[in-house]
């Protein structure tokens, strides 16, 4: 029988007490610590999922602030108040973006209407060419299919109009996100020195120098990337506008601006995306004009790759094509379109940081490291 001093315990509990009596004292503390870390990890993941949208907006704002800061610093050194300089740069960017949208919207509407108007003629021409090579082609069947497609589009438009509330909500959400990014970016640029002083005050002097060096590299590479890309985009736009005017391509300025911007600010595939629209619109005019546009895009791309870009970006961002491609893919996978646009400056910053602190040694002679051997083998 059990007594008051020795209460009856279940067998499992007695086994636990016996095991605990023989284990070191630090093991229970370790188990509690591990359990606490697991709980904290899951709690952190839950908070991250809840705030993921805000975190992405903050990252985009920090990136844009880093890109705009060199221009603001330039004006501030010449006597401008920092808030006024930031506002001036914001207005300049807003005007440029509005001009791009204002040029592209009429182009899209007019060319879409022109394409719809010319579809019957394209079908008849296609039927004639198909008969010449012995392919049975019914223009009436194609016309019937287009009619069905038109009815489908009308039904989709009706459904879209019926869900106008949802579309309006998404539009308001997009506008709110844009305003949030603009607000964060403005304050991060306008109060950048004060913000950095607050962070540096929590670090030792030696650690402050390291952090400021990394910060300086990030500003230099990100700002240099955007300004070199803007210069290349301006040159590409001007050149494309002249060529498109000579080819008598409609909406020459809008198409040139589209090609110039996308070819520089969309990594890897920007040139092909930017050149596709002018080629398609040129096809509405004549095949000869389309061929002329294709030749221009190919030739200009080679001139830019081997003559213009190396000289302009030599001091701002020199990335191996494979590194640039991999960075763009990684950025797009993590954050979508914003990640793709931010990938190259981030990669350039990391590369510059590594090259600054990584000590390099002289490479021993070997056939495996002889760059001339690869060239001779290729010949």
Residue 275's pLDDT is 87
Q: Which pair of tokens denotes residue 303?
A: 């001139």
Examine the pLDDT at 56 and tell me if it is beyond 60. Answer: yes
Q: To 10 degrees, the CA torsion angle through 303, 308, 313, 319?
A: 20
* Nearest residue to 93 via CA among 241, 250, 245, 226: 226
DSSP 8-state assignment for residue 4 = S
Span 190-239, pLDDT tens digits: 998 998 898 888 888 888 888 888 888 888 878 888 888 888 888 999 99
Span 97-125, pLDDT tens digits: 888 777 777 777 776 777 677 777 766 76
Q: What percent of the chain has pLDDT over 90?
A: 11
Position 342 confidence tier, pLDDT thresholds 50, 70, 90:
confident
Residue 75's pLDDT is 92
Span 162-194, pLDDT tens digits: 565 666 777 788 888 888 998 999 999 999 899
Q: What is the mean pLDDT of the chain?
A: 77
DSSP secondary structure of 162-205: HTHHHHHHHHHHHHHHHHHHHHHHHHHHHTHHHHHHHHHTTS-H
Examine the pLDDT at 339 and tell me if it is beyond 70. Answer: yes
DSSP secondary structure of 87-120: HHHHHHHHHHHHHHHHHHHHHHHHHHHHHHHHHH
Give me the residue spans of the domains in the chain.
204-359
Q: What is the mean pLDDT of residues 12-31?
A: 63
Residue 205's pLDDT is 86
């Amino acid at each position: 029988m059990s007594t008051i001093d020795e209460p009856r315990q279940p067998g499992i509990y007695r086994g636990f007490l016996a095991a605990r009596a023989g284990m070191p004292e630090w093991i229970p503390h370790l188990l509690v610590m591990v359990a606490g870390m697991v709980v904290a990890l899951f709690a952190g993941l839950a908070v991250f999922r809840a705030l993921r949208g805000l975190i992405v907006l903050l990252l985009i704002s920090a990136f844009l602030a880093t890109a705009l800061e060199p221009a603001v610093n330039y004006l501030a050194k010449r006597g401008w108040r920092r808030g006024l300089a930031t506002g001036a740069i914001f207005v300049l960017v807003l005007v440029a973006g509005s001009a791009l949208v204002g040029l592209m919207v009429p182009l899209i509407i007019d060319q879409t209407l022109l394409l719809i108007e010319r579809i019957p003629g394209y079908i008849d021409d296609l039927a004639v060419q198909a008969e010449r090579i012995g392919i049975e082609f019914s223009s009436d069947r194609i016309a019937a299919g287009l009619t069905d497609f038109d009815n489908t589009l009308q039904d989709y438009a009706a459904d879209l109009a019926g869900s106008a509330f949802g579309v309006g909500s998404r539009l308001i959400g997009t506008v709110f996100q844009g305003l949030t990014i603009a607000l964060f970016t403005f304050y991060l640029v306008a109060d950048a020195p004060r913000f950095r002083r607050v962070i540096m005050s929590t670090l030792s002097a030696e650690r402050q120098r390291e952090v400021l060096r990394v910060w300086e590299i990030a500003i230099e590479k990100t700002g240099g990337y955007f300004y070199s890309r803007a210069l290349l985009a301006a040159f590409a736009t001007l050149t494309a506008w002249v060529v498109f005017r000579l080819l008598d391509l409609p909406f020459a300025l809008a198409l040139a601006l589209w090609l110039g911007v996308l070819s520089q600010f969309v990594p890897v595939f920007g040139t092909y995306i930017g050149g596709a629209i002018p080629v398609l619109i040129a096809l509405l005019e004549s095949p000869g004009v389309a061929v002329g546009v294709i030749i221009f895009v190919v030739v200009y791309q080679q001139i830019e790759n081997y003559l213009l870009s190396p000289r302009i970006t030599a001091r701002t961002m020199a990335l191996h094509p494979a590194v640039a491609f991999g960075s763009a893919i990684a950025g797009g996978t993590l954050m979508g379109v914003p990640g793709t646009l931010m990938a190259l400056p981030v990669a350039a910053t990391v590369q510059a940081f590594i090259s600054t602190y990584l000590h390099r040694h002289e490479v021993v002679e070997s056939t495996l490291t002889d760059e001339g051997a690869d060239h001779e083998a290729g010949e």
